[in-house]
Structure 1
Amino acid sequence: MSWEITDHACRYCFGRVLRSTDDGIFRCAECGKEAEETHERLCWCGAEVGGERAFKCMRNPNRTAKTPQEVIVREVD
């Protein structure tokens, strides 16, 4: 099975989410949790507060020594 790195972070451990190139399975590279069909079942993009989407995963636009992560999670405006 082959995997692609996505721009999403696992909502359980903040690990990087991978996507299978074979069958559309999404898997956390750190904790191993899996989801089918969409990354939103595994990453922060699918987390809701009060029935509304509350967060989004995104590439870190300003990587520094203090925040070296490639993917970060932000609140949705």
Structure 2
Amino acid sequence: MSEDKRPKDLALGRRARNVGIVMAVTMVLWMGAQFIGGQLGLPARFVFLFDLAALAAFIWALVVTYQIWRRSQEHDG
């Protein structure tokens, strides 16, 4: 492996790790919000806000994952 690729690979790895953390934390928080919302009897509109926030986080993770994939393809080619 050449020396100029190593920092780029490390940066891609950091970004991938961040995506994984965001996805895991989002899922746990979303599940917790659904449970607490049900226990407290929150109106559906508030619970729907939790759904939208989780959806936004997952869309962000999908976009960043695609960027990571594209950059890794550029480095390999």
User: Fold conserved (TM > 0.5)?
Assistant: no
**Larger RCO (alpha carbons 8 Å, 6+ apart):** 2
TM-score, normalised to structure 1's length?
A: 0.24
Task: Kindly indicate which of the two structures has a greater share of residues assigned to strand.
Answer: 1
TM-score, normalised to structure 2's length?
A: 0.24
Task: Kindly indicate which of the two structures has a greater share of residues assigned to helix.
Answer: 2
Decide which structure has the larger Cα Rg and report it: 2
